[in-house]
Amino acid sequence: MMKSAPSFWWKSTPGLWSRLLAPVGFVYGTITAWRMFQPHKARSKVPVICIGNFVVGGTGKTPFSIKLAELLIQHGKRPAFLLRGYGGTERGPLLVDPEKHHAGQVGDEALLLAGIAPTVISADRVQGAAQLEKRGPDIILMDDGFQNPSLFKTLSIVLVDRHVGTGNGRCVPAGPLRAPLSRQILKADSLVVVGSPYSDAGAVSGTIGLASKLGLRVFHAQLVPKSGPVLEGRYIAFAGIGRPQKFFATLEERGVDVVEQIAFPDHHAFSAKDAGHLITRSADTCARLITTSKDMMRLRGMTGDAFRKLLECTDVFEVEMEIDAPEHLLQLIDQAAADSKSAGQKV
C-alpha cells in the first residue's frame, strides 16, 4: 500500500533528497524500463485498452475509465474492466460483486468500476483477461498495468496531470516516475492531459512536445463536479488517495468552505480510531466532513458505531471526467481494434 507521495517529487527541479536518492531511482527505473520491453505472455481474445500513467500516484485513471466505458456503452459496445485490485486482499482472478464484496477485499476502485460494467480483479493480468472473456465483452479496459508486459495491449492511453506533469523528472524513490519518461513514452499510443484548460501547461509542455514528436495523439480532459446539491457551510476535507492535495485544491476551486484538510496514505484502511478522530474534529469545528468517492467506498465496508456515526456526518464530493472530442478517442480505439484484428488477434 502506497503512502502519500513526498512533496519534493513534484518540484520543478530536483532538490537535496532527490539528488541523494537518485542512484536508487536510476536502478529502479532501469529495471522497470527493461521489464516493460519484455515480450508479452499472452493475447486476449478481445481488444485490451490500457489506461495508465507514467508516475506513481493519482492522475484520474479511474474516473477516466468510467467515462470511457460509458461512452463505449452509448456506442453499442460491451466493455469490461480488468485491474489489480490495489487496497484489497483478494488476488483473483475474481469477478467483483458490489453486493457481496467490500473494499477491504477487492479495493475501492474495483467497486466503483463494477457499478458500470463487469469487473475482474487479478494480480495475474493474463488470468484476469481469460476470466473476463467468459462474460462476453467486446473490449477490455485495463485500469493501470501500463508497466506490466504480461498481457498484450491493443492500445495504451497514458494520463498526465496538467498541473504537476512528471514532477522533478526522476524515478522512484527520487521522483514520481516509474521508469524514465524517454523509455516509457515509447510504449504509449496516446496521451491524455488531465486538468483545467485555463491553467498553466508548463509542467507538461515537455511531455506533450515529446509525444507530438513521436506521433502520439494528444487529448485533453478534466475532472468536473457531478450535478448534485450545493455544498453549503463549513467542511473538513479528508482523503486517502494518491494525491490528497489535488482533491483539497479542487474543493477550494469550486468554492467549498474548507476549514481543515486531513490527508491519509493512498488506499488507507480507516480504523475506528481514525473515525473517532474525524468525528471529534467535526464536532469541535462545527463543520461537516467531506471526502472522495473512493474513500467512501472503503468506509461503507466498515462496521461498528464509530463508522456509522462517521457516515452520518460525511458528504461525498463526486466528480466525473469530461473528455474533449470524445468521438476522436473512440475512433482511435476502433481503429486500433481493427488493426489488431487484421494482424491476427481474435476479436
Residues 311-338 have pLDDT tens digits of 999 999 999 999 999 999 999 999 999 9
- From residue 339, how far is each of 318, 326, 343 by CA, in Å? 37, 20, 6
Least confident window among 68-77, 102-111, 197-206: 197-206
Q: 250 and 215: one domain?
A: no
- From residue 214, how far is each of 145, 174, 190, 301, 339 by CA, in Å? 22, 27, 10, 45, 19
pLDDT tens readout for residues 31-78: 999 999 999 999 999 999 999 999 997 789 999 999 999 999 999 999
Q: Is the pLDDT of residue 246 over 80?
A: yes
pTM of the model: 0.92
Closest residue by Cα to residue 298 from 271, 333, 328? 271
- pLDDT number for residue 347: 38
**Structural domain includes residue 3:** no
Q: Averaged over 204-209, what is the pLDDT? A: 94
Q: 133 and 245: one domain?
A: no
Q: 161 and 256: one domain?
A: no
CATH number at residue 183: 3.40.50.300
As a whole number, the mean pLDDT across the chain is 92
Query: Mapping DSSP to helix (H, G, I), strand (E, B) and coil, where does residue 158 land?
Result: strand
Least confident window among 2-6, 177-181, 291-295: 2-6
- pLDDT number for residue 209: 94
**Structural domain includes residue 263:** yes
Distance between CA atoms of 32 and 177, rounded to whole angstroms? Answer: 10
- pLDDT number for residue 222: 93
Backbone angles phi, psi at 260, to 5 degrees: -160, 145
Q: How many domains does the chain have?
A: 2
Share of the chain above pLDDT 70, in %: 97
**Structural domain includes residue 43:** no
